[in-house]
Structure 1
Amino acid sequence: MTTPAGLRVAGAPISWGVCEVPGWGRMLDVSTVLSELAAVGLTATELGPPGYLPREPAELNALLGAHELGLVGGFLAVPLHERVDSALAAAEASAALFAAAGGDVLVLAAATGLDGYDERPMLDDTSWHALVRTATAIGDLAASYGVTTVLHPHVGTHVETRGEVERFLADCELPLCLDTGHLLIGGTDPVELARRYPERVGHVHLKDVRGELAQRVRAGELPYTAAVGQGLYVPLGEGDIDIEAMVRSVHDAGYRGWYVLEQDTALDEHDAVDLPGRAVARSLAHLTDVLGRLSAG
């Protein structure tokens, strides 16, 4: 979707419960997800977890084209502190695919190597420096395909907390994916971060969250997966993040990249198939209002 302000809005399969975590929940079929994504008014999407959408460029282009969708890029969660060759190979495969299918953003997360995002061992300094070197190498590799790499602070990864976000910004030149939900859950105010480091915002994932549940996850009282199941994420404007202030901050600083609606969802067998689409439509309506005021101002 292109807004009157010339800003670009896209979606992602995770808003329909499509996740790389084993046992996350009910996985809707590709046709349903892409049809609903287009039906709410979005014209582009991130790729989703490996294997969900085709990995062959011509097949992927044909599938997205059938739904009148473009490709933004995609998310890649791999360990960066170990098994470096594997991380580089995965990043190159993703960058090559994105470039061939019209995408230009590689959203990189520093995975722990464990399944899911509920446990997170700490890194020593040696492993941290390896993480930074690998992230930098992936950025250079992706750039050779015309793809920008952004580091995604993410719950249950090795860049989650406010201290880790600040350390990464100091140690590595890669821009960030400013994910409003994951940052808040990890203890970073996304609005403040956008104001302090406007030049480091390379991509934006827009989420809204229930602050009380976010606090329980942050305090270790509630596993992340359980919190998602209890409604941690809500449509934009219905939670405790000042989405308008964040969008206005990055826009005023010159950001003209994608705003990706990403409302992490886990579905069970009793949930209505159209539940995610209705939630995304509410988020899009709220964001459209925000962007309309941005254009007017």
Structure 2
Amino acid sequence: MSFTLDPTTAITDPHGITWGMHPITWRNDDIPEVGAFNTLEDMLLDLADTGYRGTECAGFFPPKEEVKAASEARGIKIVAQWFSSFIVRDGIETVIPDFEATCSHLEYLGATRVVVSEQTGSVQGKRDVCIFTNKPTLTDEEWDLLADGLNRLGDIAHAHGLELVYHHHLGTVVQTKAETIRLMEATDPAKVSLLFDTGHAYVGDGDVMGLLQACIDRIKHVHFKDVRPERMAESRAANRSFLDSFLAGMFTVPGDGTIDFTEPYRFLVDHGYDGWILVEAEQDPAIANPLEYARKARAYIESALLKA
């Protein structure tokens, strides 16, 4: 095992893209007992051993001083962190203090992105609500509130050296291609960018490339997540929630599901994208061993994408 990332054997992309892996592979914040046996150190050792150069913050992480020391010791970059905003429900003035604290935390860790998702009315964390037939929506007035609030958060993020990247997400007010495009059109491109997630695009609309092509000029962060269509169909038929769907195996790492990542990867490269791509898959680590799936994803990345 490699205890510190070796740059000479890490994933090296000829187009300047940097590859990392999201901590949700090791532990889940929405269901704390899922992966509770994994620690920050477990994750960092696996990342160093498999050659991923970075990751994002998670709720199970220890205090920032410990995170900084541990990640630097292993040679792993902290890239970003999720922030749940309630701009529509609570008002932007209520949201700002927590957002400021998150940005300060990320600045200390040397991150470059803050991932924002509007959680007003969200059903993504409700286990008694079917993710395929229920989602919140916004009125025209609420769309304006959200856009104006995100623009203000974008200014705050920039003051901390961060880009605000909005995460379109199942079960939220910005889930579909149409909703994501509307948000991008309503916000200032100098202040609000997009996190493009293949898994949410596929499950939400069945269309990965449509959203990518429509929003390519706003994308500053990427998650590559695959989908097992048979498990998705089972979850849809069973009216499962988002959480129960992923526990049933709906998501997996690239190369283990149905999405052909060669097309979105090539499109990103052809349009000059040279930021981070993080491998991500909400799974139960007791069933899907994180180290095994990290290796599986790397093998696919190098054989199907980097050599294509």
Bin the TM-score by the shorter chain.
0.7 to 0.9
Identify which of 48, 72, 82 aligns with 1:65.
Answer: 72
Q: Which runs of 5+ in 1 are unaligned?
A: none
1:38 is aligned to 48
Q: Deviations over 1:71-108 (max 9, x none)?
A: 11111122221222342222222222222221101111
2:39 is aligned to 29
**Stretches of 4+ aligned residues off by more than 4 angstroms:** 113-116, 215-220
Report the 3-state secondary structure (helix = DSSP H, G, I; strand = E; otherwise coil) of the residue aligned with 2:19: strand
Identify which of 262, 267, 280 aligns with 1:262.
Answer: 280
**Structure 2: distance between partners of 1:112 and 1:192:** 26
1:232 is aligned to 250
Structure 1 residues 234 and 60, CA, compared in 2 at 3 Å: closer, same or farther?
closer
Pairwise CA RMSD: 2.3
Contact conserved, 1:201 with 1:250, CA < 8 A, in 2?
Answer: no
Contact conserved, 1:236 with 1:243, CA < 8 A, in 2?
Answer: yes
Counterpart residue identity of residue 175, structure 1? S
For normalisation by structure 2, the TM-score amounts to: 0.84
Structure 1 residues 22 and 116, CA, compared in 2 at 3 Å: closer, same or farther?
farther
5 Å-filtered alignment, 1:1-297, equals 1-16=11-26, 18-23=27-32, 25-27=34-36, 28-49=38-59, 52-56=60-64, 58-83=65-90, 84-112=92-120, 116-118=124-126, 119=129, 120-173=135-188, 174-187=192-205, 189-214=207-232, 221-267=239-285, 271=286, 275-293=289-307
Contact conserved, 2:122 with 2:171, CA < 8 A, in 1?
Answer: no
Which shows bigger deviation, 255-264 or 109-118?
A: 109-118
**Structure 2: distance between partners of 1:130 and 1:188:** 29
**Structure 2: distance between partners of 1:108 and 1:188:** 23
Structure 1 residues 9 and 133, CA, compared in 2 at 3 Å: closer, same or farther?
same
Report the 3-state secondary structure (helix = DSSP H, G, I; strand = E; otherwise coil) of the residue aligned with 1:204: strand
Structure 1 residues 122 and 14, CA, compared in 2 at 3 Å: closer, same or farther?
same
Contact conserved, 1:55 with 1:97, CA < 8 A, in 2?
Answer: no
Contact conserved, 1:203 with 1:258, CA < 8 A, in 2?
Answer: yes
Cα deviation, residue 11, structure 1: 1.2
Contact conserved, 1:181 with 1:209, CA < 8 A, in 2?
Answer: yes
**Structure 2: distance between partners of 1:62 and 1:164:** 40
Contact conserved, 2:34 with 2:284, CA < 8 A, in 1?
Answer: yes
Contact conserved, 1:181 with 1:207, CA < 8 A, in 2?
Answer: yes
Give the share of equivalent positions with the same residue, in percent: 26
Cα deviation, residue 22, structure 1: 4.0
Contact conserved, 1:180 with 1:190, CA < 8 A, in 2?
Answer: yes
2:6 is aligned to none
Structure 1 residues 167 and 219, CA, compared in 2 at 3 Å: closer, same or farther?
farther
Report the 3-state secondary structure (helix = DSSP H, G, I; strand = E; otherwise coil) of the residue aligned with 2:185: helix
**Structure 2: distance between partners of 1:159 and 1:149:** 15
**Structure 1: distance between partners of 2:123 and 2:300:** 34
**Structure 2: distance between partners of 1:55 and 1:130:** 33
Q: Deviations over 1:224-255 (max 9, x none)?
A: 11111111112212212121100110110011
Counterpart residue identity of residue 299, structure 2? A
Contact conserved, 2:114 with 2:165, CA < 8 A, in 1?
Answer: yes
Report the 3-state secondary structure (helix = DSSP H, G, I; strand = E; otherwise coil) of the residue aligned with 1:160: coil
Q: Deviations over 1:145-202 (max 9, x none)?
A: 1100111001122211233112212212322100000121111622222223321111
Q: Deviations over 1:264-286 (max 9, x none)?
A: 1234xxx26x8121012111211
Report the 3-state secondary structure (helix = DSSP H, G, I; strand = E; otherwise coil) of the residue aligned with 1:293: coil
Contact conserved, 1:112 with 1:158, CA < 8 A, in 2?
Answer: yes
